[in-house]
Structure formats: C-alpha cells, structure tokens
C-alpha cells in the first residue's frame, strides 16, 4: 500500500505543477507569431545595444525545493542583484528561472508537504514575474538536478534566442554584492579567444584557494565601476579600474559567465546530467592543466563579488 501511495502521490505532484505551467502559458498568450522566422517559428531576435542590434547574452538561474519555500525572497534577491550590480547589461536580457522537481522519496507526508510548498512557490513566482517580458519561469516535471536543468534551459534559449553568444549561470542562493562591468567582460572575452568561463568569488574563496593552471598567464583589462561622489552623496562617477582574470584549474557551480556554445557542449559532454557539473568538470579541469592544456577557465580577480543565502537553514517570512 505504501508503494502504491507513493506512486499516486508522485503522479499528483507532476500533474499539479504541469497544470500550473500550462495554465500560465495560456494566460500569457505564448510566443507572438510576429516574432517568428522561417527557420524557427519561435525564434526571437531581441534588439540590444551591441553593434549588430541584437542582445547576445542570456541568464539562467537554477533553483530547487528548499525549506524556505514557498518564499520567493531568495530568487527575488538574485534577480534584483542582476539589475543592480551587472552594469551595462541590456535591460531586456532574458532571464530563465528553472525550478527542479525534487526526488520523490521519503515518507508520504514529507513528499506532500514539499509538493505543496513547491507548488505555491511556483505560483508565487508566476504572480511576481508573469507580466515581466524578460523573465521566463521553467518548472520541470522530472528531477533534473543542476546539469539537467541547465541543459534544458539552454535548449530553449538556443531555439528561441538564437543570437545568444554568452550566458550567466547563477544559483538561486548566490546574489551579486559588487558591481561587474558586463560590457568590459564581454570585450575581454571577444579579445581573448582563450576565455570560455569566468567565475565570481564569494568571501569563502580567497585567492590562495584558486588553483593555477600550468603556465597560463593572467589577462588584464579595464572596466568602469561606479562610486559615490564625495561632493554629492546622490551622484555617482565612473572610474576606470584595472581588472585581472586569473587562469585556473578551479571549476565551480558558483555564479559564472561563459561562452554559450562552449558551455552547452561542455554540459552535454557530462553524459549523466542529473548531478552538479562541478563534480566531473573540476576533475577534467585539473587533468587538462596537468597535461599542459586548458579548458579556458578564469577567476574574476575581485574578492567577495557574490554572497551566499542559505535557504536550507533559513525560514523567510
């Protein structure tokens, strides 16, 4: 009986989230046919600031069930930090928030409680972001883990936003607390083909924990950050700042910027996607550096760019 009950409950969880996803898909009207192209009816070319007039960057935020659900505060803080701290990023840059299904194991009461809180969490996110054309909520019906969630989201981005060349991958519990000049970073990547991946450090990852990669050398570039004008507290001034990107054998799932195609191919190469990418990719990065090659991994030199929110231990009101 217990096994039958778990199976029935599993069907109920999937049906509930599926119904919610379909409901809001119809409510939002789906993709506009006016944006269709001959090669892909759903493709959208979003006008942006770059010389070609096309936005070339997208953002994925992966999330999963945590004890603080149905609160959306953590995700909201991450989204807000994008607008506040990633400077020069076009305001129409699409954001994809994935919501992973949890493993349907444990006792029935626990599964039901998780199902209810996750269901309400998804509903809350739709209520917040449904009328925001740049934010797309992607609740998945099966447990996909981080690797699977990223792969699915990238398939959607590739199909509907084919001009995407760069991607920010963000975790739902890490938000930006320092400014990052997006345009300057992209310029550095366009200037240096060796850069495939740039990760941002939190306060628990000092420079001495960044594994170097063979004889690779650092890349220097200039960006523009803002600071308060001493004569006027409300005014800000741009300051050209010298930045370093440090070649590294460190691969982490913490917030990072990547080349879209490289990332898609790298994630797909893991074969088994239902896991954290950093587990197999950290070993691969070390092996490549030892053999004298490089995956093109770099660490953003500035310290404490992102801050951690622990939804496993924190209950938000």
Q: Which of 53-57, 75-79, 230-234, 311-315 has the lowest mean pLDDT?
A: 230-234
pLDDT at position 107, please?
84
Contacts of residue 30, defined as CB under 8 A and 6 or more positions apart, other chains included, come to none
Percent of the chain with pLDDT over 90: 58
Q: What radius of gyration, in Å, describes the C-alpha atoms of the chain?
A: 21
Q: In angstroms, rounded to a whole number, what is the distance separating the alpha carbons of residues 238 and 88? A: 12
Whole-prediction pTM: 0.81
- Show me where the domains of the chain are located: 2-28+54-308
Mean per-residue pLDDT, 160-178: 96
Percent of the chain with pLDDT over 70: 77
Parallel/antiparallel/unpaired status of strands 197-199 and 297-300: parallel
Token code pair at residue 70: 């149905």
pLDDT at position 22, please?
39
The DSSP secondary-structure symbol of 212 reads B
Residue 220 backbone zone (phi > 0: left; psi -120 to 50: alpha; other: beta): beta
List the Cα angle 87/90/93 in 5-degree steps: 115
pLDDT at position 180, please?
95
Residue 100 neighbours by CB distance under 10 Å: 23
Superfamily of structural domain 2-28+54-308: Spore Coat Polysaccharide Biosynthesis Protein SpsA; Chain A (3.90.550.10)
Q: Which of 64-68, 196-200, 249-253 has the lowest mean pLDDT?
A: 64-68
Band of pLDDT at residue 235, cut at 50, 70 and 90: very low
Cα dihedral across residues 175, 63, 76, 93: positive or negative: positive
* Whether the predicted pLDDT of 14 surpasses 60: no
- Beta strands, E only, the chain: 57-63, 86-87, 95-99, 135-139, 166-171, 174-176, 180-181, 197-199, 219-229, 232-247, 256-259, 297-300, 306-308
pLDDT tens-digit series, residues 35-86 = 333 345 445 444 444 444 579 999 999 998 888 889 999 999 999 999 999 9
List the Cα angle 151/264/100 in 5-degree steps: 20
Q: Which residue, among 111, 122, 61, 64, has the nearest Cα to 86 in the 3D structure?
A: 61
State the average pLDDT for the chain. Answer: 81
Question: Buried (b) or exposed (e) across 214-248, using 16+ Cβ within 10 A?
Answer: eebeebebebebeeeeeeeeeeeeeeeeebebbbb
Q: In angstroms, rounded to a whole number, what is the distance separating the alpha carbons of residues 234 and 221? A: 28
Token code pair at residue 92: 């129409």
* Whether the predicted pLDDT of 126 surpasses 80: yes
pLDDT tens-digit series, residues 276-299 = 899 999 999 999 999 988 999 999
């Amino acid at each position: 009986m217990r096994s039958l009950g778990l199976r029935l409950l599993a069907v109920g969880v999937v049906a509930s989230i599926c119904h919610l996803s379909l409901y809001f898909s119809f409510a939002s009207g789906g993709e506009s046919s006016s944006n269709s192209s001959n090669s892909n009816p759903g493709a959208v070319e979003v006008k942006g600031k770059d010389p070609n007039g096309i936005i070339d960057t997208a953002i994925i935020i992966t999330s999963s069930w945590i004890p603080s659900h149905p609160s959306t505060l953590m995700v909201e803080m991450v989204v807000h930090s994008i607008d506040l701290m990633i400077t020069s990023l076009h305001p129409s840059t699409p954001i994809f928030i994935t919501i992973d299904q949890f493993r349907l194991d444990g006792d029935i009461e626990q599964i039901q409680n998780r199902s209810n809180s996750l269901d309400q969490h998804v509903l809350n996110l739709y209520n917040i972001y449904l009328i925001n054309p740049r934010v797309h909520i992607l609740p998945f019906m099966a447990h996909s883990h981080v690797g699977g969630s990223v792969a699915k989201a990238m398939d959607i981005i590739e199909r509907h936003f084919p001009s995407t060349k760069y991607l920010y991958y963000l975790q739902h519990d890490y938000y930006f607390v320092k400014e990052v000049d997006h345009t300057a970073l992209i310029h550095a990547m366009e200037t240096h083909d060796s850069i495939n991946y740039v990760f941002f450090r939190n306060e628990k990852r000092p420079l001495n924990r960044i594994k170097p990669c063979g004889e690779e050398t650092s890349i220097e570039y200039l960006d523009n950050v803002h600071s308060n004008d001493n004569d006027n507290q409300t005014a800000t001034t741009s300051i050209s700042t010298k930045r370093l990107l440090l070649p590294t054998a460190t691969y982490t799932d913490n917030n990072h910027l990547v080349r879209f195609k490289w990332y898609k191919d790298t994630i797909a190469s893991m074969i088994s996607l239902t896991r954290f990418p950093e587990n197999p990719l950290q070993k691969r990065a070390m092996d490549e550096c030892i053999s004298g090659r490089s995956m093109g991994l770099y660490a953003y030199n500035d310290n404490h760019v992102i801050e951690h929110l622990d939804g496993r231990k924190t209950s938000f009101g």
